[in-house]
Amino acid sequence: MQVDTTFELVHGLWLTDTTFSREALINHRSGKHPEFPGPSFRHFKKDRETYCRLAGELAIAKPELLKIKKVGHNLNKVVVKGKVTNIFEGAQNLWCTQHMKERDAQKLRVMGCNERTQRRIMADIYGCQEQVLLENGLANAEDFAD
């Protein structure tokens, strides 16, 4: 399950979408599990209690969600502090790699790294593709040893 970005629809009204993937299915073109839309949550605050309520409502509506393996989300720490992973106790908490990559690239620019150094660091962390050669980075590691 992924908790997607929270959007402000109109002043003071927020929308948080969820998606889920079926690990039993594999897209033969991409080799990845397909993603499907999940429940949407409209709310008036972006605080810990709100995201706790979101997780609780999901668990009440679909008790089988208590068995999910992973909860992925953007870099919004309030989602984690909202006990999303406490309600889904067996689930691993995962940050969105794309959000992390954007944040890290911005940080390197702010630190004054030149373009060549930025590319090398980002490739080490997130991998890179040179024509047909694809090299994985630390973010692609399967386990701690990798």
- Rounded to two decimals, the pTM is 0.55
The pLDDT tens digits of the residues spanning 37-90 come to: 888 889 898 887 887 888 888 888 888 888 888 777 766 666 665 556 677 777
Report the distance separating Cα 71 and Cα 56, nearest Å: 14
> Is the distance from CB of 104 to CB of 35 less than 8 angstroms?
no
pLDDT in the model for residue 38: 83
pLDDT in the model for residue 110: 93
pLDDT in the model for residue 106: 92
Check whether 96 has a pLDDT greater than 80: no
The pLDDT tens digits of the residues spanning 2-32 come to: 777 678 889 989 888 888 887 788 877 877 8
Q: Which of 5, 21, 1 is nearest to 91 (CA)?
A: 1
